[in-house]
Amino acid sequence: MRRAGALVLLIGGLAASAAAAHPTATATVKVAKTRLGTVLVDGRGRTLYLFTDDRNGSITCTTPLSNCPAVWPPLFAKGPPMAGPGVDPKLLGTVHRTRPAGVQVTYAGHPLYIYSNDKKPGDVEGQGFIDAWYVVSPAGKPIKKK
């Protein structure tokens, strides 16, 4: 992972979000308003992010040594994800990953993640992290404003 060194330095002390790492029977993706505009959130209202290093179906946030999956837990699901109001169900999908293993929810082809330092619904603390992590618009595009 090309940003592994930066990740180790920047996230060394952050705690993992255990709830995000465990799949639920049905993962729901919906929209919510934040200071960055309307963004995708999970069923609990936690902001969802994409990682710009994930390209062409590859998932690069896999290395435990860089703490990536602990700080950026994948949005896992068992079964097909559900589209809440404002979410285009045709853009929802899943991808199988190996580290950590499971079925990760995607939107417009982007694997979705939760930032462990977002403590409550509406938090967007991961926005622009190392110029690679961004909230996702309902159109499936990264919102790059800060």
Summarize pLDDT for 101-127 with one digit per residue, the tens. Answer: 999 999 999 999 999 999 999 999 999
Contact 113, 48 (CB under 8 A): yes
Name the β-bridge partners of 127: none
pLDDT band at 2 (very low <50, low <70, confident <90, very high): very low
134: left (phi over 0), alpha (psi -120 to 50) or beta: beta
pLDDT at 107: 97
pLDDT at 23: 52
pLDDT at 10: 43
Burial 83-106 (b: 16+ CB within 10 A, else e): bbeebeeebbbbbebeebebbbbb
User: Half-sphere exposure of residue 146, counting CA atoms within 13 Å on the CB side?
Assistant: 7
CA angle 21, 69, 50 (to 5 degrees): 95
Q: Mean pLDDT, the chain, as a whole number? A: 86
Entry pTM: 0.84
Under DSSP, the state recorded for 118 is -
Under DSSP, the state recorded for 22 is S
